[in-house]
Amino acid sequence: MSNTILRIDHLTMQFGGVVAVDNFSMHIDEGEIVALIGPNGAGKTTAFNAVTGVYVPTSGAIKLMGENITGKRPDQITKLGIARTFQNIRLFSSMTVFENVLTAHHLRRTSNVFTATLRLNAAEEHQMRADTDALLKKVDLYDLKDEIATSLPYGRQRLLEIVRALATKPKLLLLDEPAAGMNPQETDELGAFIRRIRDEFDLTIFIIEHHMNLVMEISDRIYVIEFGKQIAEGTPNEIQNNEAVIAAYLGGDDL
C-alpha cells in the first residue's frame, strides 16, 4: 500500500467574497513528483501557501504523513518536513553560496541563546558547516561555495535555492515555478536535477509550473485547477488528452 506523504481534503481558501481555492482535494504518495497546473489566477500558489502555513484555510484539512498541519506556522511546518522555493528567487543577496545553505541548516539547530553565548554549541556549528560542504559537493555546487549567490548565472541561482531548501532535510519539497525565466538548456538541466534529487534524497516533490514540456517530462501525476476548482487529475498522457484541460488551459498546440 502506498505511503501518503501529503493529503489535502476539501480545501477552501476565501478572501472576502473571492474564493481562491474551492473544495480542492488531492494526495501525494511517497516518492512521487506531482504537478499542480492551471491558468494564471487559478489558485495554485494559494494552495501552496495553505500547505506551508502562509495562509490558514477557510475550511478543509491538510495532513503531512497523517499529521494534521492545518493552521500551523510556517516554521513549525518546515521542522515537520516541508520545504519550498518561490517563483521569485529569494536568496540572501549579500551572502555566499555556502552561507545561504548554512543559514538553512540553522533551522534544524538544537542550541539556544544560552548555549550560543557560552559557545557550548561549537560542535553543532562545526557539524552544520560540514553538512553544508557535503551537500554542496553532492549537488556539484562546491566549486562555487565562496561566490556571492546573486553573482551566479540565473539557472545556478535557481538550483541554489532548491539546494538551500534541501538543507532543511525535508520529506516533501514544494517548487513554485522553478523554471520561470530559464532558457531551454537550463530547463532541461532543471528537469534532470529534480529527478536526481528526488532519487538521491528520498524526496517527494510537489510542483507548480507553467512550462508544460517540463511538467509532462518529470511528473508522475498532474492535478489541474481552474478558478480554484479541480477539473482533472491523471498521468501526463491522460492530462494531455483531457478535453476539459485542453479547453481550459493547455491548448492544442502547447504540448
Q: What is the pLDDT of residue 113?
A: 42
- Residue 15, classified by CB atoms within 10 Å of its CB into exposed (0-12), middle (13-18) or buried (19+), is exposed
Task: Give SS3 for 159.
Answer: helix
Q: Is the dihedral of CA 162, 82, 129, 199 positive or negative?
A: negative
Q: Are 111 and 120 in contact (CB under 8 A)?
A: yes
Indicate whether 2 pLDDT > 70.
Answer: no
Domains and CATH numbers, the chain: 1-81+171-255 (3.40.50.300), 91-169 (no CATH)
The label of the residue with cell 477552501 reads 12
Q: What is the pLDDT of residue 114?
A: 43
Give the whole-angstrom CA distance, residue 166 versus residue 160.
Answer: 10
Average pLDDT rounded to a whole number, residues 187-194: 95
Indicate whether 19 pLDDT > 70.
Answer: yes
Average pLDDT rounded to a whole number, residues 131-158: 94
Q: Are 188 and 99 in contact (CB under 8 A)?
A: no
Q: What is the pLDDT of residue 122?
A: 78
Indicate whether 115 pLDDT > 70.
Answer: no
- Backbone φ, ψ for residue 236 (5° rounding): -55, -40
Q: Residue 67's CB: how many other CB atoms inside 10 A?
A: 10
Give the whole-angstrom CA distance, residue 163 versus residue 144.
Answer: 13
Q: Is the dihedral of CA 145, 150, 156, 157 positive or negative?
A: positive
Q: What is the pLDDT of residue 106?
A: 73
Average pLDDT, the chain: 90
Find the angle CA(248)-CA(253)-CA(254) to the nearest 5 degrees: 65
Question: What is the grid cell recorded at 202?
Answer: 528520498
Better-scored residue on pLDDT, 247 or 73? 73
Q: What is the pLDDT of residue 105?
A: 80
Question: What is the grid cell recorded at 248?
Answer: 481550459
Contacts of 230 (CB under 8 A, 6+ apart): 24, 25, 26, 223, 224
Indicate whether 121 pLDDT > 80.
Answer: no
Q: Is the dihedral of CA 55, 59, 65, 66 positive or negative?
A: positive
pLDDT digits (tens, 9 = 90+) for 76-88: 999 999 999 988 8
Question: What is the grid cell recorded at 65?
Answer: 504523513
Ranges of H-type helices in 81-121: 97-105, 113-117
pLDDT digits (tens, 9 = 90+) for 197-219: 999 999 999 999 989 999 999 99
Percentage of the chain beyond pLDDT 90 is 77
Find the angle CA(186)-CA(189)-CA(190) to the nearest 5 degrees: 85
Question: What is the grid cell recorded at 50?
Answer: 495553505
Q: What is the pLDDT of residue 251?
A: 53
Give the whole-angstrom CA distance, residue 65 versus residue 40.
Answer: 30
